[in-house]
Structure 1
């Protein structure tokens, strides 16, 4: 499959950042995009609403369905999936992008923040995929793509922020299980993670610990996602992809265009070895 024309993508957290970039890349092919996210009014620190993203999708040549959704609400997830199927006639691809982050050690991680990360990252990913599964079983080339890292038991990734790491590794373990569980249905289940830190509005939530000049843009993740989602599902499942590696396999050699500032060094993202 060369492009995503006519395919329907259900993207959680699609109003900004990486989710929005994946939506716009699919829109360029003429895809249908369900933008399932919480933001319907501008956030004081995080710009972008589902309506803004929907307008951009349509300006890029796609069709959009913005749906306000808190993926912690099971009934709301079920209803959003029903609306998506009614509107577009099915769902071909699920992109589990929504995520909550708090890079805090145990004493500084309030239980409400712990619960938020577990409910959004791990439970929400499970809930969205589960709700979309009946539609995926009917799709021609169904994919589930989750924005989570390669599974690891390296203590170095757990020590600084136990709760966040567990929540992200939980998403990855879902991918590991789904690749096996969904094999007989021909549904691909893969994960994708950036080689470097990505410049998104969420950086502002980290208190200036990372500067945009040391990041790449979300476009590199979107291009890598596109490359994965256009592969035959039956031949591409159970992988924990790194964006740069996916694009190298596509023949990309120069990544300078993805850098916010090509003259500045790039910071490796969490869960990725600096020499990988």
Structure 2
């Protein structure tokens, strides 16, 4: 399905990014992973090299690039290496992110800079470096930011203004670039309706929280649906439930770790909307 296409994805050494990379490779696409985790983390499984091996063991093609997207030269080097290896870039997924749910007084300048540097600035710069290559794509070029709809409800700012500002910066890239590159590159955002269980989530909240979460598979399935859309499907803030429903999924329980359990709502989404039909 994606044979001949190259995906450049940030932050894919584990979690949602890893799942997307593997599922894309299964369908014949080339994958370039740009992330900073080259050595095993003492508490979190996964490196760029372990994901590369997983993909290659499945018969796929993967390039692992050590890249901290806070640094422009590292992004440029990763993009250049990808183009040299695979001949171009057709899809960009800005997945890398940093989070700190701290209030104003408890958010250090170092933590603020980390979130802004990875989420907003890193997404902007990675997009900037990939756009010249996306414009040359022989396929339908896509950019997907793993970021939320721009919900201005003040409750999503209270208590963690810095994180919200940084995350919304990613979404504002979608809003602006979708219009700037209309009919040339498709830019969309994707966000989960519920919490997604990852190794990082387990480290923060314990293994029992899995019962209130969905698996990463709902996000990878959503990405694959978006990548099948024509270039005029752009500037949207897609929710995973909407994407998989459009793809023909009728049983969302397949993504839950424990069927019938009450799921934890994700940030930035108000609870009175049916996200299986709502197009934001």
Give yes or no for TM over 0.5.
yes
- Counterpart residue number, 1:87: 85
SS in 2 for 1:11: strand
The structural deviation recorded for 1:49 is 0.3
Query: Bigger shift: 136-145 or 266-275?
Result: 266-275
- Give the paired residue count: 272
Pair 1:268-2:265 in alignment: yes
Deviation at 1:171, TM superposition (A): 0.5
- Equivalent position of 2:220 in the other structure: 222
Runs (5+) with no aligned partner, structure 1: none
Q: Is the CA contact 1:34–1:84 (under 8 Å) kept in the aligned structure 2?
A: yes
Cα offset, 1:209, TM superposition = 11
CA–CA separation in structure 2 for the residues paired with 1:79 and 1:260: 39
Give the 3 Å change call, closer, same or farther, for CA 60–236 of structure 1 in structure 2. farther
From 10, 14, 17, the counterpart of 2:15: 17
1:26 to 21, 24, 27: 24
Give the superposed CA RMSD.
1.4
> 1:121-270, aligned counterparts within 5 Å?
121-139=119-137, 140-184=139-183, 186-204=184-202, 206-208=204-206, 211-232=209-230, 234-270=231-267
Deviations along 1:20-61, whole A, 9 cap, x unmatched? 010011011111000110111110121100010011112233
- Please give the residue correspondences for 1:27-42 in structure 2 after superposition, counting only pairs within 5 Å: 27-42=25-40
**Per-residue displacement from partner, 1:194-240 (whole Å, max 9, x unpaired)?**
010000122145355981210000010000001101222x2210010
Task: Indicate the residue corresponding to 2:276 in structure 1.
Answer: none
8 A contact 1:46–1:202 mirrored in 2: yes
- The equivalent of 2:71 in structure 1 is 73
Q: Deviations over 1:67-116 (max 9, x none)?
A: 11000010111111000000000000000000000111111111100100
Q: C-alpha distance in 2, partners of 1:264/1:196?
A: 12
Contact 1:29 1:61 in 2 (8 A): no
Indicate the SS of the match to 1:211: helix
Give the secondary structure class of the aligned counterpart of 1:66: strand
Q: Would you say the 8 A contact 1:195–1:244 is kept in 2?
A: yes
Contact 2:202/2:209, CA 8 A, preserved across alignment? no
Quick one: distance in 2 between partners of 1:226 and 1:211? Answer: 27
Contact 1:4 1:230 in 2 (8 A): no
Specify the SS of the correspondent of 2:105.
Answer: helix
Q: Which runs of 5+ in 2 are unaligned?
A: 274-280
Contact 1:11 1:35 in 2 (8 A): yes
Out of 263-272 and 115-124, give the one that drifted further. 263-272
Q: Does the aligned pair in 1 maintain the 2:151–2:269 contact within 8 Å?
A: no
SS for the counterpart of 1:94 is strand
